[in-house]
Structures are given as C-alpha cells and as structure tokens.
Structure 1
Amino acid sequence: MSMVKSSPDPVDIHVGARVRLRRTLLGMSQEKLGKALGLTFQQVQKYERGANRIGSSRLFQLSKILDVPVSFFFDEMTTDTTQKADGMAEGNKQVFEVDKLSRRETLELVRAYYKITDPSVRKKIFEMVKAVGSSAIGSDES
C-alpha cells in the first residue's frame, strides 16, 4: 500500500493559502520569505499551494516572520475542509473559496483599503462595497 497522495491535503491547501494571503498583504515576495526561512522561493511556492506540508516548527517560524499567531493559519477553515482532511471525501469546494481569497485583485483591494488612514472614510467605503455587492446578488456576475 503506497502512501503517495495524488492531491494535496485540504488542510495543507488552506494553511498554504493563509501563508500566501498574509505574505501578500505584507507586500513580501516569495523570495524574501524564502530567505527569511532559509528556503528557495520554489519551496515557498510549494508550501503556499499545499503541495508540501508545513511542519510545526516551520509554522511557528512563519508566524514570527509574518507577525501573526499560529492560529491565523487555521482561521476560517470550514468543517468541510476538516472532514475532507482524511481523504475520504470527493471534490473540493474549499479550494475554490481559498483561490478567490488569494487572487491578486482581492489582495490588492485589501492592501489599498488598509492604506486609507481615516477610519470614517474606510468604514464608508466598506459599507459602499457591501451595498454594491449585495445588489449584485442574483445577477449573472460573480
């Protein structure tokens, strides 16, 4: 019986996507993160895709470099993901959800949003985007 997996574990995909999300929000390149970890940017890419599992000591190191608690990497993990972690379920809806969060457009929007220094202006923009998004529900656009 072979232990080789045909696809990455859903939990590894989620954790990797959270690493990418935080790294991108900080405006840090894969090269810079790799240097801080003593790895190549290709190894960082594999972590971010979930192709390589991140060990506990490496996750702790990442939390220090990216200035987040270790729990950050598991935040927003759905029950769906944790149930699929055993490899028994088919399909992977979570991959799509994580991909949406990791899109460059999404990350650039969030970074630009946090550059708005006036909290009242930021709140008004937030409310406006929510309102426009709500009015788009039911239309053909995603």
Structure 2
Amino acid sequence: MTQQQLAERVGIKFQQIQKYETGANRVSASRLWDIADALEVSVSFFFEGLNEEDTKASNKIPADILGDKEALDLVRSYYAIPEAQRRRLFELARVLSDVA
C-alpha cells in the first residue's frame, strides 16, 4: 500500500503519513487505531517484538520523568528554541546518545 492510499483510507494527507513514518510527528493513539484499521491489523502489530525488558533497557528513562523538575525545565527550554535550531539540537542529541 502506498502512502497516498493509506492517507486516503485514514482521511489525512499523504504528507502527514510521511511525517509519521520519518518520526517528524508523533502518532496519537486514535490515529494509530485508524492506521491499524486501514491496514487491517491490530494495534499490537506495531509493537510486536517489544517486551518490557527491551523497553526498559533501551529507554533508561525514569518512570516519573514528568515529575523531575530538571527534565521539565529542559523540555521547556527546548521548546523555547526556534524550530530550525531545535531540530539541529535534536539531531545532535540523537548522535551523542548513539555514541554513548
């Protein structure tokens, strides 16, 4: 199925499908439900192969991250940066985390 065909079935533009596919935009739970329905798979299809231990090991993020003042300050500061610079900072952070 092409991005265009999926977009038509879900009722959105194909550019939005591209953004979901590349990770530029997050997929809401309701949109994931719509996509699964359009592809005639269950929502769990998108999570096959993941288990709790893999998720914990790969994320290394505390469960109460939203309760951490430093994390919230970091997120607020991040979103205060202009979008083009924010994207570059995000890519830098991704590269640095891959190296670590």
TM-score by length of 1: 0.38
How well do the aligned residues superpose, as a CA RMSD in angstroms? 3.1
Query: Where does residue 58 of structure 2 map in the other structure?
Result: 83
Q: CA deviation at 1:37?
A: 1.4
1:26-37 aligned at under 5 Å gives the runs: 28-37=1-10
- Residues 85 and 33 of structure 1, relative CA distance in 2, 3 Å threshold: farther
Q: How many residues were matched structurally?
A: 65
Q: CA separation in 2, counterparts of 1:76 and 1:85?
A: 18
Unaligned 5+ residue runs, structure 1? 1-27, 93-142
1:38-117 aligned at under 5 Å gives the runs: 38-77=11-50, 79=54, 83-84=58-59, 86=61, 90-91=97-98
Unaligned 5+ residue runs, structure 2? 62-92
Structure of greater relative contact order (alpha carbons < 8 Å, 6+ residues apart): 1
Q: CA separation in 1, counterparts of 2:97 and 2:26?
A: 20
TM-score by length of 2: 0.53
Q: CA separation in 2, counterparts of 1:85 and 1:51?
A: 22
